[in-house]
Amino acid sequence: IFGGRKSLPAFHPWQASFQSRPKGSNLNFTHSCGGTLIDSCWILTAAHCIDEDEVRVELGGVNLEKDDPGKQFLEVEKVIVHENFTETPDALYNDIALLKLRDGVNGRCANETQSVRAVCLPNETFPDESHCTISGYGATQKESGVSSQLLEAKVLLIPQRRCMSQNVYGNIMDDSMLCAGYMQGKIDSCQGDSGGPLVCEKDQTHYIYGVVSWGDRCGVKKKPGVYTRVTKFIDWINEKMYST
């Protein structure tokens, strides 16, 4: 997160660290992407985060390098990438994936605690200029690579027509995406935040409104962050969750 601040335990109890290591290796798992807990057994993330590596999910922490009794590590039973995910040199389309977690004895996966809780799926659109929140372990303006500390920042939802204007992203944008951030730059998601949450709040309920997807670098003027538009994928998510 560019221009963010340190988060605290339980501020983003749905935040996941999606971790990977080469298949068959005994290397440590390292953070590769963010993710969002949307149900005890389901993580929403970005399709471009999925590769052939062995993966696991970390929940309930705010520092990747610190042991914490509140952390939960879960195995992934199944990966579901959107059928229409497309990667071009300029943009990512339908950049969404689901991770089904491996369940325990009681048919539950993640245990709900103070620091681990699922976020809601949105049932309506938020207005332009709404204040929403991004969080993640991605790159900051200072260090490259990932941040061991979970960071957060407030961003604004940017009108689609403004983001599709020729001096912003133009016609590479489609309705599977939304822009959030600031036209003046400085505050943004960045590499390593991908797959993680853009959350908007209404009546004290938090909704997963975007999945960190792509952008032209980070924190650059007229190049706000681009997020997968979760409201476009509600039927897809429900279909995958309730038929598997």
Residues lying near ligand 4AZ in the complex (CB under 6 A):
188-191, 193-194, 212, 214-215, 218, 225
Here the tokens at position 12 are 């983003």
User: Contact at 8 Å (CB) between 168 and 179?
Assistant: yes
- Residue 169 Cβ vs ligand 4AZ, minimum distance, rounded to whole Å: 11
The SS3 assignment for 129 reads coil
Per DSSP, what are the bridge partners of residue 91?
none
Distance CA 76, CA 216 (A): 31
- 95 classed as catalytic: yes
Q: Which amino acid is at 195?
A: G
- Residue 214 Cβ vs ligand 4AZ, minimum distance, rounded to whole Å: 6
Taking CA atoms, 213 is separated from 75, 182, 234, in Å, by 23, 16, 17
- Residue 226 Cβ vs ligand 4AZ, minimum distance, rounded to whole Å: 6
Longest Cα–Cα distance in the chain: 54
Nearest to 222 by CA among 183, 190, 187: 183
Which candidate in 17, 32, 95, 176 is catalytic?
95
User: Contact at 8 Å (CB) between 64 and 146?
Assistant: yes
Q: Which residue is nearest to ligand 4AZ (CB)?
A: 215
Taking CA atoms, 37 is separated from 40, 55, 197, 229, in Å, by 7, 16, 9, 17
- Residue 188 Cβ vs ligand 4AZ, minimum distance, rounded to whole Å: 4
Which residues in 97-106 are b (16+ Cβ under 10 Å) and which e? bbbbbeeeee
The SS3 assignment for 13 reads coil
Which candidate in 7, 31, 40, 48 is catalytic?
48
- Residue 195 Cβ vs ligand 4AZ, minimum distance, rounded to whole Å: 9
Which residues does the annotation mark as catalytic? Answer: 48, 95, 194
